[in-house]
Structure formats: structure tokens, C-alpha cells
Structure 1
Amino acid sequence: MKKSKKIWVPAIIIVVIVAGILYAWRKLNQDSVLNMADVYATLSKVAGYFIPLGILIVIIIAALIIFRKRTWRFKFWLKWESLLVLLVAIMVTLNVILFGPMASLLNLNYAKLDTIQAATLKDHQQLTRNIAEEGTVLLKNEAGFLPLKANTKKLNVFGWASTNPVYGGTGSGNVDTSNATSVLISLKDSGFQLNNDLSQFYTKYRKDRPKVEMWQQDWTLVEPAKKDYSNKLVSDAKNFSDTALIVISRVGGEGADLPTDMTAKNVTYKGNKGDYKKGQHFLQLSKSEKEMVQLVTSNFKDVVVLVNSANPMELGWLNQYDNIRSALWMSGPGAVGFSALGDILTGKVNPSGRLVDTYVYDLKKTPTWHNFGDFKYQDSKYTRVDYAENIYVGYKFYETYYQNNEAGYRDAVQYALGYGLSYTNFTQEMSDLRQGANGKVEFDVTVTNTGQKAGKDVVQTYFQPPYENGGVEKAATNLLTFTKTKTLAPGASQKLTISFNQEQLAAYDEAKGGAYVLASGDYGISLNNNAHEIATSKTLNVPTTITYDQQHKRLSDKIVAKNQFANFTRGEVTYLSRQDNFANLNAATAAPEKRALTALEKNGLTNDKTYKIKNNSQDKMPKTDANNNLALQDLRNKKYNDPKWDKLLDQMTIKDMSNLITYGGYQTVAAKSVAKGHTYDFDGPAGISSFFVDTKGTAFPTATMIAATWNQALAKQRGQAVGQEANQLGISGWYGPAMNIHRSAFAGRNFEYYSEDGTLSGMMAAQETIGAKSQGVYAYLKHFALNDQETNRGNMLLTWSTEQAIREIYLKPFELAVKEGGATAVMSAFNYVGNQWAGGSTPLLKNVLRSEWGFNGLVLTDYFSGLGYMDADKAVRNGNDMMLSTTGESGAGLNDTKSATAVKAMRSSAHNILYTVVNSRTYAKSNAASATENLPWQKTVTTINIIAGLVLLAIQGLVIWLYRRKNKKSA
């Protein structure tokens, strides 16, 4: 027995260690969020720390066997001191692991956050409702059917989605809606009596919504087939009420785009038999949905439809049934947004939302249809997407292509961007244009409510530039600016002043090195009901062409804009042109051919295998480890280029800089050399959320619904609300707002993004950024840039586009959020921009973002999982400061921390990170968190270490006592 103890005691210790590793593995993968390659890499790294321990155990076992016949005194000391040495070694090893490779994850898994005040949550519930009220769009209202008459008290609510609507989206934009106000609750709260038999029928059919998650998607559209509706159920419903409400919903999420063919092999779909034929897509009605609509419209006199989808659906069927009297659109309204629905139906609330996308009858005829999705090169692991439509995205194509063809336009477009009805009527009177100094233009608009109900109106200003056939590409009409009125009573008016700078009318010309050019000629400046319908217009004459070059840059730019992308983003693509009335439409928008990478596309293209670190021999090694007695707190409110920054940065150690850069996943880590404390940065676009800890914050409406309010004040309030909740939780950075473009209706993350239009997106994003910043929270503008689809986003996706489209469409929201919103944080994108990874592109991150726009702050990668091309060395040398890594693996750690070029880049990154953090809420008070202050889990481990140390000392004392006692007995 004694001999076996010598074997099984160490064996038990080894089993305990292995169990600890397995537990760590489970914690790493508990939310199915972390990339498994990261998990395995981390475990491999952790396992390496146990090698010395294993060697020690082998030595101890060997010693016990070899010296088993020595004197009892020797064996006594060998046995007990070996055990103590082993316990100390285990203790040291665990501490090295916990405070080393596991520290970043433990920071998050055991983050101790404060709670959001009940009064704050209550206020933000009201804000959510306000956004839903103003972000609901009245699509159809024949003969003023809505609001419902006072005697309409009973409603039949059809559609399975009525019992399980879409509140938002999935992935990093997901928030808790477990206690949400549903469609049915809203209707009941507004005084409607509902047909409970119908609701029970749907919930009995299925209770839960199919999961559309980051790693797997079930695209089943739950809807009972026609045969499932019994004659009695329909008959009883007709007797209950002759008014019906139909609810149709669609969901999207991070990680996958919506299916363009529901019968494709890669689409998981378990609907009713025959719901879809080959080629039918997710944004059409399924067969079961069509049958339900036909059932309802053939049995009920008055029908209202609620479209609950952030992605623009094909809605031509709304016009095919005379008794569909009205229709409403509500994107994901957050946890309590549906509370507005009942009051909108009764007329207590007058909807004032406007659409943020163009709704067409046939999505297969959009310019992006053939160039959105999964396209692989034949000879490599690279994938591609061609932005062949050029600048003609959404309404910009339809308003231009059908400029002199109204009949064609009506056949193609059902609802224009900016479309929305009201329960009342408005007139807008436009004054003459007034031109001031430095290109400023302004005019007055008098909005009058000429109807019978109070309401708000949106003042949409567009411009129509002169176009020369074959010249610089220009859309026929372009959103210029917008504002929203206050609530106007019947007969009341409001006078608003609209201002802009004529440089906003310039188009980007890639010729001769590139520049923004304001061509001479007449520009229409119009007030529109929507992108298509001009209400009134004035003419702005530009007498001579202005080229914004070295002698005359745009006022909003820090340095003159010139070509940064044209030589590596155009690829081998035929781009759509307006020349000769889109003569190349078919060729440009055709499905891309299957082919290999060309020499042009390969030129400058690198991944983690082909990227080579290159150092500049002219770089001088920066100072490190200086003793200048400065703390980060001392730099609060100092300008970015204040000389004091150099003194502070001289103090930084290589280790502190490296850790700041490497471990940027949902946090910024402490740096003792400059007394920087630890901070938290959390998701997400629809409200503060985390994959690691429960935040219990407000589930706000989706960005699409916020944009649909066309109310910049509400956007600012939403930013303030997110900032306030983050502040109360103890969070300094917010991974939002997201502002990529609705390039395609099928993009899975459209709910996170505002619109198909860059100006609308940017103006709303700027206000949200300002709002968050007012609470001391830095907003990460994401995803920078051209991350407009989920398909292949991490599969070395080469995104080809013209520089004009990049600047005028895809960078526009970020530009406005930086210049007008004062953003100090940006999240770069997974994809390549042309053939340069967005997270490692000097033209994007240094030349445009920082130099041209004047951005001062940090750039963070998207989730860092390597993916075969993400590389920290490439990132920091090209303007990306921090890796969104929780493990420090998969290339998130720097390979070069010794060369002058590397340290210079690290110093620049540290400067950017520290500048953003010190001007946040974290350092709003003089007693900001110290770098020496332990996090809660660290305090726990320290306490355990003290206790364990005392126990080991006690054991050592016990061993001495036992030895002496035994020695006396033997004597």
C-alpha cells in the first residue's frame, strides 16, 4: 500500500491538472464565440507551462524508487520535501499561467461590473418606444383606413410571427429580449380584444423561433400550411371580427447572409413541403405565407399588414389584394418598441418614419444580384466580391437609369428611399438660396401641417448635378442633408434653416491622380417627398469648375484628397457606367466568370505565409523605460501632439506596449510603466452586450429603425443612452455604431447598419458617436471598410471597387462620423479592400483616416482569429493599433519587438490607444483606476495564494514536528 501511494498520489495530481485544463477549455468555448484555432493554440501554449512540472514529477518518482532502501530519515525528508516542492511548483505554474496567457480571458469571464440604475433603464425604455414610434413607416393607407375607427375593438391577428416577432438580430448585435413587449401584448395594452384561438393555434404549431446564429442557421420560415387552418377556426375568426392584421417577419444575423435560393444544398430549411421552388429566395413570401395571405384576404373585409424585417422584402403582393387597406413597416424595434404598434393603429401615435432603402418588385434585377455571395478563385484560397455596380447603389441606380422613363421606374420600384406616409398632410415651402463665404449655402423651409392630425414631417434635401456623357460618374439625384420637424398641430408651421457647403456636391474623379471636382453648371437643390418625388426645387449655379487639389482642398479635409486605392482596388472588373444611358449594364452586372487570380490582382497581395517583415534602416530606436514621473492621468485633455506625450511614451516598456497591442479583446489592459488602468470595451450596436458576462442593459431598436426615424436628435439620444449605460456598468468603449452599407438586401447584418445611403448613415452615426462621447464612452465605428456581406468575410475576401465608389458610398458614413462626430475609435474589417487586408492597409488607415480626415485615436481589428492573413506585425506597421484578441494567439502577438521600425510602430499604437482611453470616462476623475490595482479575479487569486502559502508553511512546520517526534521515538 505504501509503495502504491508513491505512484497514485502523483497520478492524482496529474489528473487534477488535466481536469483543470479541460475546465479551462470549456470556459474558453462556453459561448461558441471564440475561434477553435485560438482555443487549441492557447491550450497548447498553456500545456507548455506544465512541461517543467511533468519533468519534476518524473524526477520525484524516480528518486522515490531509487532511494527506497535508504534510511528512514533520508526517505522521510525526501518524501515530504518532494511533496512540498511539487506543491510549490504547481502553485507557481498556475500563477504564471493565470497571470500570463490566461489573464486576458479571466479579465472578461470574471469581470465585476456595476449595475444599471432602474431609473436609467426606465428612461431608455421610453426612448426605445420613441424611436419605434418615429421609425415605423406607413407604407400603404388607402382611403385613410388607418388609424382604425374607434368602434374597431376586435382584431384577428394572423401569421405565426405575430406570436414570435423579430426584435433585432443575432451575433454581436444581439441583445436580451426575453422580457420583450410582443405584438400581441402591445395590441392588448392599446385596448384591442384579440382572437385568442388564433394565437393559441400558432403557439401550439411552434413556440420557438428557428435559430439563425453565428455558426449555424436554420432558415425555416415557420408558417402553418393552408390545410392546418380548420374551417371552424376560420369561421369563428370571421364571426369574431371582420378586421385582420397579418404579421410577416424576417430575421438576419452575423455570420451568414440571407439565402438567395432557398432550395440550395447549403441552406438549412425545414418548411412545409413545396414552400419554395428552385431559385426562390428568403425575401419572397413562402408558399405557406402566400396561402395564409390568400386565406385572410378572401375571408376578411379589412386587412392591415405589418412587415417586420430590417431587410427589404419583395412587397408587390401588398398591391394585389384590394382589401389589404394599409401596411406598416417595423424593423427590429428592440425589447419594448412593439409597444408603439397598438397606439399607431388607434391613431394615438402618428407614424413619421421614412424608408432607408429602395424597395423593388424583383430583387433579382438589382445591379448587385449577380455580384453578391460566394465567389472563389480557382487556383487559391482567396475569395472575391466585385462591386461592379460602381457608385450606383440602391436609389442612385434607379433614379439615374430611369431618369426619363417614369413608366419603367414604376414597374421596377415600389417604394423609394425616404418614402413614408402620414395620417396628416404637409406642405414645404422653400426660400431662395443664399450663398455665403467659403462656399456655404443655406435656405429656409417652412413646413405646414395642412391635415387634421398632429404629426412630424421629414425635410429631405437632394441635389441633381450636371452630367457630361462619358465624364465622371454621377447619380441623377443624391441625398444632401435632412432634418425633422417637431410635432406640428393641424394648421401649425415651423421654419427651418437648411445649410450645406457646395463642396458636398463635388464628385470624386480618379483621373490625373484623383481629386474631388465640383464641375461648373447648374445644380438642382430640391426638397423631396422621397428620393424620387421632387416637391420643389431651386437652382445653384457654379460658374467655374473647382478642383479640390493642393491649391484648393475641401474645407473638411486636413490634407487634400488624392488617389489612395485606385492602383490596388479596381482589379479585373468591368464597372457600371452611366455613359450612353448605361450601355454596359448587362456586361457590368453579369455573374462574374470563374477564373484564377491574375497578375494584377496578385501584385502586392499577401497573407500570413507570404507577408515578410521589412524594417526601415533610417528608423531610430525610440526611448523606452524612462523615469519621467508621469502618469497617464496627466495627459487627460492634452492635445494629441502635445510634447508631454513624448515624455510619457518614453516611459513605456516593450512589454507594456506589446500587451496593449496584443490583448485588445473587449478590453484595454493595464500598463504599469505609465500608470494606465484596465478598461472594458463591449459590444454591441443594439445596446451594451457581452459574450462573457451578463450586462442586463436596454435592448434598443436596430440601426435600421433608428435611421428610419430620420431624426438626428433621436440618434444622439440613443448614443447618450448607450454611453450612460456603459458608464454605469463601468465600460469605457462601445463596439458600435455599425455603419456598413445595405449594398444588397440579402446582407445578414443589415439590421446592424443604417441604410443603403452613405449620407443618411453617416449623419445618424455622427450623432450617435457624439451622444456616446458626451458620456465619456468612445464608440468604435465599424467595420472599416467595405464589409458589406457576411459570406466569406473571413475567407481572404478580396473586395474590388473603384476609388470613387469607395469614397462616395462606402467610406462616407465613417468620414462623417469622424469629421462631425469626433470619433476616437474605429474597428477595422475582416475583408481585404482590393488586395490589402483592411486591418493592415496604410492607404486606408493612415493616409485617409488619419492624415486626410484628421482622425486621432485607436484602430482595433475585428475579432482576431488569424484566418490565414491577420497579422499583428502587419497591422501595427500600417495603422492598426490593437488586436481584438482574448488569447494573444493566431498571430495576435508581435514577432518583432526589437527593431527600431517595430518599436516605433508600437509606440505609435500605444500613443493612439492611450490617447483614446485617457479622454474617456475612465479618467474623468483624478482617482482613475491605477495600473497597480488588481482586478477582482486577481484579488481572489492573491488571497488564495496567501492562504496556500500559509498552508504550505504550516505543512513544513508539521513535517519538522513529525520528524523530531519520530526521531525521539527511534532514539
Structure 2
Amino acid sequence: MNIANLVDTTELKKIKGLNAILLAGQAGNATGNIVADVVLGKSIPSGKLTDTWAASYEDYPSSKNFSHNNGDTNDEYYSDGIYVGYRYFDTFNVTPNYCFGYGKGYTDFETEVRDVEADAKNVTVTASVKNIGDTFAGKEVVQVYYSAPDGTIEKPYQELGGFGKSDLLSPGESQTITISFPTRSMASYDEKKAAWVLEAGTYYIRVGNSSRTTKVAAALNLKETVVTVQGKNLFPADDAPQELSKAGVTPYSYEGEAEEKAAAKQIDICSKCIKTETVVYSETPEAFPAYEGEKLTAADVKSGKATLKDLVSQLTVEEMAAVCNGTADGLGQEGFIGSSSDMAPGAAGDTTSILLEDRGIYNTILADGPAGLRLIPHFVVDADGKMVSSGNPLEDAFNKNEIEVPEGGTEYFQYCTAIPVAALLAQSWNMDLIRKCGDIVGKEMEEFHISVWLAPGMNIHRNPLCGRNFEYYSEDPLVAGMCAAADTRGIQSHAGIGTSIKHFAANNQEDNRMYVNEHISERAMREIYLKSFEIAVKTAQPMTIMSSYNLVNGVHTANSHDLLTAAARDEWGFAGYVMTDWGTSEDMSGLFAYKYNLKYGHSTSRECVLAGNDLQMPGQQGNRQEIVASVADGTLPLGQLQTCAYRILNVVLQSLAYDDCKPYGDQFDLEEAVTVTKA
């Protein structure tokens, strides 16, 4: 199956004589050779599913009312709450065709838990993995889950806490794998307390190679409920959905589970040793003190003569409005959505070069993904350096090869590697491999002078019918967050370039995706739909974040201060800039009238700046005019506009446009979400 999304395997299983299914999964440039080698036994398949493949579409709890299924694409009600993917199938005891974490190879393994240790800081599982086959080598994934106690907050049957993949083991060969994750990562969100809490009770640690093969390995006992992070509720429900409850439901179980719990190693966790973090939320920024000296340049900032705030304080409102917008309507080329760059044909857009001549601040180029760098592979420029167009930008973008080269013109090629789609990368469960794929993209970004890769996409696979699941990783936020972090680290190991994790947040359907209102509880939003982004920010610090088109609980994400500033910056420590998806703060109903409607209207430029959505892409004159007018009439504080411009320029000055650039991530003290060691 050369596919990236789920299909109905119940129909496949009806085929007489079928005894194996190979999920190829759209592996990019090398797909043909890879599949041939696997079929011939020259290489060893070792993937595991990162989604639950149900026996019937109707088994997914979101199926009945998902997207167009109920005829309403204006409002999406997340009545499944936290019960997404295996959290639902395990808790409500619904048997899938293939469970989360499942995958076969050409050999079998035996996994034995050697020890479990835990304290107020970490939970650590040590297991030995042995290849018990007699012919083929292979790799195994050790998956560690936890079952949190039900207190005042309802919990799923189990949740993934950590995982690690073995090296290639020959028949009879074994390896010891140690997997460690923070104890506080087992916390649940309590809406009444507006806090993350570890509720008192017993936390069972489970180990297996899929969600349906886990065995109880230890029991962690917490005598008192602990608040791990005290914040505030950010996503009040405008029309709260009635969420699923497991009350009266008998969850999945297996023979011997009760005996395993009784015999499990008992570990007491010191409640008082877990410290509470209290979030300090930012206020509306004051205007920057005016720098009265000579006109400052990028060189002055880089030399330490002045600060970037000093430089920004000298910019006019019109200049800052230009900084906070892309250049699609600006310097020449006719742009279209997804290909609006004046500097690199096929790139998605640019930041402004309006400050280049007198400030020495270069533009940066932003190119799309997600399965590699997306540029026009073949183009022609005339004697004056202007790109020769077919008259149809879509044809140019998708490689119209027959382009006549005019006299004095030049023909160019910019071929890029097609890496595997995100869904397949996740199924490797191999963070080193994903980081290497990021490294491939990073090298090509350097070659083509691209500063920001508009990827990885990392929304949750809530439902199989989401049209962009192929470019997202998983139904599980830990897997999605770790994959995005690995991809980001690979890219940002190169000097002056970075990623833009997207679509922030809850872009889980494509019908009316620009204007749909997603009604989600605070808890589900934080535990499922934001958790992956939180992990990526805290462990990789992507250079940028891209907001989504949709609304969450009646507020456009692009205009949500609580999402973009309170959550991403104040709670998680995000340090880069936020940009809109293309056309977010414009009325796109005319361009896409056949598909979208405006029950809730579109977001606005003024509110983007107020929310901390720094860069509006691809940019148009109306965006800039609205910003200037809003400062003039007092509805947009000058300090807020200056702060947005500052954040953009802070990243621009670290980009590969400058010879002194360094790997962006080097300035941060980053830790892994899960630590894995092998012996």
C-alpha cells in the first residue's frame, strides 16, 4: 500500500489467501528501491503504526459528526474530548483491526523488563530486547505507557509516556534499552483548578510493543495530589460540546492483568518533592524608549553599539507595518497562494527588504514543505533577470518543462529531495532517522538560500478523513511532538535556518478549514491538541510557529492572544516569531467561493498584531493600511506593534542572510521529552 493515510483494511482482510500487508507509506525519492529491497529481503521492515486502524470507520468516536458527515462544516464539536485514537479504543474496549504501535517485521522479539525506577523527577524503565528468530535481523520498539488514577478527573485506560527503538539485532542478539521521561509529564489538566495536576493514587507503568501488548511493570504511589503547573484557563467554551465519559464502561483488559497489578513493584513518589511552577503572564508591552542618536543599522546591533530595541524604536509605523507583512503584492511577480516569493521561484513568500538600503536588514525567504523543500524545479529568466512565466502560476509551480529561453535569458534548475511524508516518518519511531531527514532539508535550504521551512505539520490525526493527515504525524501528541522536535533539530543544526511548526492549532479537518469553528474543551485542547506543540517548543525551539485558519471556541487562532502569547510564549517559553497561514487576515471567500463561507468572518490584521501574530503572510497592502490606521486611532498600542517587529527582526538578524549566522538552537538550553540509552 503506497499510501499515507488510513484505509478500510476490513475489506483487505476479506481477500482469500492474503497473509501479509506491506505499508510502503509514500517514502519519497527512494520509494521504489526501498519497496523492492523489503520485498526481496535485502532490507528489514521495522515500522510501527502511529494510528489506530479501526475495523470500521464508524468505530472512531468523531465519525458521525466529523466535518461534512453531519452536513455542518461551520461548527465542529469535539464531543470525543480526550478520547482520541487508542485512548478511546482501549478505554471503551473497542477492538481495532490494527492497534496503535502495531507492526511486524521478518523476525520476532522477546522483551523483558529488567527494572523500573521512579522519583519526583523521572520515571525510568530498563528492558532487554532479544531477537528470538533464526533467520532475519530486525529492530524492535519498546513502548512505555502509564495508567493514571481516576480522581476528580476522568483518565483514559493508558497513555504513551516514552519509547525507544533498538538497533538492528541479528538472530539471538540482545540489547538493553533504558527509557526515561519526566514524572510530571503524567499530569492531567484540571479545568476547575486551571492547573496541571498529578492526582493522588497509583500510576501503573506498562511496557509492550503496541498498545494491546502492554504488561504492568510497576506501580507508582502518590499519596497527595500535586499541582505541577498553575496557570489559568485560556480557551473558554463558546458552545461546549457534551463530551464522552467512561462512566459505566468496562475498559479493555487481558487475562492476568489484575495479578500483574498485585505483583508489581511498588514505588512511593514523594508528593512534596514535586514543585509547583506558577506561570507569569505578560502584560501589554510598553512603547520602546526612543533612541535619539544616529540612524541605526543591523551592523550597529550586531556589533553591540546599540540594541535591536533601539533600532526598532527608530522605525516609523509604516516601516513596522511592512516588517509585519510579507511582500506578495510588492516587488514584481504575481503571487498566488503557496508561491508568492519574489526571491526564490516557487517559495511561499518573503519578509520585506524595505529596510535593506538604509538599515542593512535583509529579507528572508520562506519555502513550503512538508515532504522536503518545495520550489519550482525548472524556470527561466530573461535578460533583465525577470522570470519567464507561462501565464499560469500553477503550471510554473508544478514544473511546466517546455519554457522557451529568450535571447540573453538563462535556464535554472532547483531540484530538491522528496523525503518521506510525516505520517511515514513517525511510523519509524526513530528520532535519529527523522533528524537526518531534517538535515537533508537543511542542506538544501542552505543551497537555495531559504531561511524558514514551513513545516513540519503536526496536527493530531483525530479522524482518518482529515485531508492532510499525510503531512501530520500521529493520533498521539507525544509521538507528534517528538517527531516535530527531531525534524526541527535536524534543520536547525544548520546555521541561520529554521522551521515553522504548524498549523497552530486544531487544524483537524479541511472542509471550510479557513472559517470552521472548533468547539473544544479546555482539557482536550491542552492534553491532545496543544501538547505536541508544547513538546516541540520546549525541546527544540523552532524558529517560528504558523497559526491555523480555523477558530477555537469562537476565536480565530490567528487573533488569539491566549493561544499565541499566553500559551506559546508565557507558558512554554517560545522565543521566535509567529506567522499567519497564507491569506489568513484577508477575505478569501472570493478566491475560494466554491468552498468556503463566512459564518464567523475572517481574522483581522489589527487583532493579529494584538494577539502576537507577528508576521502576516503573504502580505497585502490592506494589511499594512489597517495596522497603520489602528495605531493612529489608538486601537493598536505602539508598543505591541514594536514588539511584533522586534521578534521578526530578531530572527531575521540570525538568518543565513548574514555571514555570521549560527545554528539557531544553540542559544537555548534544551532537554529531550524522552531520554533513551542503549547498551
Whether the TM-score (by the shorter chain) exceeds 0.5 is yes
Matched with 1:731 is 450
Partner of 1:344: 38
Matching residue of 1:544:
224
Aligned with residue 534 of structure 1, among 193, 203, 214 = 214
Offset, 1:377 = 10
2:638 alignment partner in structure 1? 903
CA contact (8 A) 1:742 1:750 kept: yes
Instruction: Select the structure that is richer in helix.
Output: 1
Specify the alignment match of 2:232 in structure 1.
Answer: 562
Which residue of the partner structure matches residue 587 of structure 2? 866
Cα 1:528/1:757, change in 2 over 3 Å:
same
> Quick check: 1:390 aligned with 2:81?
yes
Distance 1:886 1:690, change over 3 A: farther
Corresponding letter in the other structure for 1:310: A
Q: Deviations over 1:859-886 (max 9, x none)?
A: 1001113344121111001110011124
Conservation of the 8 A alpha-carbon contact between 1:377 and 1:384: no
Please show how residues 842-861 of structure 1 align to structure 2 within 5 Å.
842-861=561-580
8 Å CA contact retained: 2:121, 2:183: yes
Partner of 1:420: 103
Equivalent residue in structure 1 for 2:246, among 578, 596, 600: 578
**Structure 1 residue 516, shift from structure 2 partner:** 0.8
Separation of aligned partners in 2, 1:754 and 1:828? 18
Q: 1:914 to 1:522 in 2, by over 3 A?
A: same
Pairing of 1:348-359 with structure 2 (within 5 A): 348-359=42-53
Q: Specify the alignment match of 1:631 in structure 2.
A: 297
**TM-superposed deviation, 1:320:** 2.5
Of the three residues 822, 838, 842, the one matched with 2:557 is 838
2:423 corresponds to: 704
Instruction: For residue 359 of structure 1, give the secondary structure of its aligned residue in structure 2.
Output: coil
8 Å Cα contact 1:385-1:797 kept in structure 2: yes
Distance 1:319 1:899 in 2: 66
Which of 447, 451, 467 is the matching residue for 1:748? 467
Asked whether the equivalents of residues 62 and 462 of structure 2 are also in contact (C-alpha less than 8 Å), the reply is yes
1:921 CA displacement: 2.4
Secondary structure at the aligned position of 1:341 is classed as helix
Counterpart AA for 1:821: A
How far off is 1:723 after superposition? 1.2
User: 1:539 is paired with a residue of what secondary structure?
Assistant: strand
Matched, 1:519 2:173: no
Q: Post-superposition shift, 1:383?
A: 1.5
Describe the SS at the equivalent of 2:567: helix
User: For residue 473 of structure 2, what is the amino acid of its counterpart?
Assistant: Y
- Mapping of residues 98-109 of structure 1, within 5 Å: none
Query: Are 2:452 and 1:769 aligned?
Result: no
Indicate the residue corresponding to 1:433 in structure 2: 116
* Equivalent residues of 2:3, 2:25 under 8 A apart: yes
Report whether the alignment pairs 1:689 with 2:374.
Answer: yes
Q: Is 1:916 matched up with 2:651?
A: yes
Report whether the alignment pairs 1:786 with 2:506: yes
Deviation at residue 322 of structure 1 after TM alignment: 4.2
Q: Does 1:883 align with 2:608?
A: no
**1:946 match:** none
One-letter code aligned to 1:680: I
Cα contact 1:527–1:537 (8 A) shared by 2: yes
CA distance change for structure 1 residues 497 and 619 in 2, over 3 Å: closer, same or farther?
A: closer
For residues 148-183 of structure 1, the C-alpha deviation after alignment (integer angstroms, 9 at most, x for no partner) is xxxxxxxxxxxxxxxxxxxxxxxxxxxxxxxxxxxx
| Offset, 1:515 | 0.8
8 Å contact kept, 1:576–1:582: no
Contact 1:766 1:821 in 2 (8 A): yes
Distance 1:340 1:855, change over 3 A: same
1:361 and 2:69 aligned: no
Amino acid at match of 2:510: E
- Bigger Rg over Cα: 1
Residues 331 and 920 (structure 1), Cα distance of their counterparts in 2 relative to 1, 3 Å cut: same
User: 1:648-670: CA deviations, max 9, x gaps?
Assistant: 32232323211111226621112
Structure 1 residue aligned with 2:278: none
Alignment of 1:232-631 (within 5 A): 307-374=1-68, 383-402=74-93, 409=94, 412-436=95-119, 438-452=120-134, 453-468=136-151, 471-512=152-193, 514-535=194-215, 537-548=217-228, 553=229, 560-565=230-235, 567=236, 569=237, 571-581=239-249, 621-623=287-289, 626-628=292-294, 630-631=296-297
Residue 486 of structure 1, CA deviation: 1.2
Relative to 1, partners in 2 of residues 1:490 and 1:535: Cα closer, same or farther, differing over 3 Å? farther
Q: CA deviation at 1:325?
A: 2.2
Q: Structure 1 892/524 Cα, relative in aligned 2: closer, same or farther at 3 Å?
A: farther
TM-score by length of 1: 0.55
620 and 327 in structure 1: CA distance in 2 versus 1, 3 angstrom threshold: closer
Corresponding residue number in structure 2 for 1:290:
none
Distance in 2 (alpha carbons) for counterparts of 1:920 and 1:459: 39
Q: 1:644 to 1:619 in 2, by over 3 A?
A: closer
Deviation at 1:644, TM superposition (A): 2.5
Q: Structure 1 residues 926, 539: closer, same or farther in 2, change over 3 A? A: closer
Query: CA-to-partner distance for each residue in 1:511-530, whole Å, 9 max, x for gaps?
Result: 13x11110122211121121
Choose 852-861 or 645-654, whichever is displaced more: 645-654
Q: Would the aligned equivalents of 2:325 and 2:623 in 1 still touch at CA under 8 Å?
A: no
Contact persistence 2:77–2:241 (CA under 8 A): yes
2:344 maps to 1:663: no
How far has the Cα of 1:308 moved from its partner? 2.4
Compared CA separation, residues 619 and 738, structure 1 to 2 (3 A): closer
1:785–1:838 CA contact under 8 A, matched in 2: yes
- Residues 628 and 647 of structure 1 are in contact (CA less than 8 Å); yes or no, is this contact kept in structure 2? no
Which residue does 2:381 correspond to in 1? none
- TM-score, with normalisation over the residues of structure 2? 0.77
TM-aligned CA deviation for residue 684 of structure 1: 1.1
In the alignment, residue 856 of structure 1 is paired with which amino acid? A
Residues 1:680 and 2:400 are matched in the alignment: no
**Offset of 1:536 from its aligned partner?**
5.4
Instruction: Specify whether residues 488 and 636 from structure 1 end up closer, same or farther in structure 2 by C-alpha distance, changes over 3 A only.
Output: farther
**8 Å Cα contact 1:449-1:491 kept in structure 2:** yes
- Write the distance in 2 (CA, Å) between the matches of 1:834 and 1:816: 23
Residues 574/492 of structure 1: CA separation in 2 closer, same or farther (3 Å cut): same
The offset of 1:371, in angstroms, is: 2.1
**Aligned counterpart, 1:720:** 439
Shift of the 481–908 alpha-carbon distance from structure 1 to 2, 3 Å rule, reads same
C-alpha separation between the residues in 1 aligned to 2:82 and 2:414? 40
The 8 Å contact of residues 375 and 384 in structure 1, kept in 2 or not, is answered as: no
8 Å CA contact 1:434–1:441 kept in 2: the answer is yes
Pairwise mapping of residues 132-171 of structure 1 onto structure 2 (< 5 A)? none
Instruction: Give the aligned residue type for 1:561.
Output: G
1:317 Cα deviation (Å)?
3.0
CA contact (8 A) 1:780 1:826 kept: yes
CA separation of 1:582/1:862 partners in 2, compared to 1, >3 Å: closer, same or farther?
farther
| CA shift digits 1:835-867 (9 cap, x unpaired) | 110001011011000000001111100111334
Name the CA distance, whole Å, in 2 between partners of 1:926 and 1:327: 47
Q: Map residues 40-119 of structure 1 onto 2, 5 A cutoff.
A: none
Residue pair 1:681, 1:734 contacting (<8 A) in 2 also: yes
In 2, the alpha carbon distance for the partners of 1:364 and 1:770 equals 38
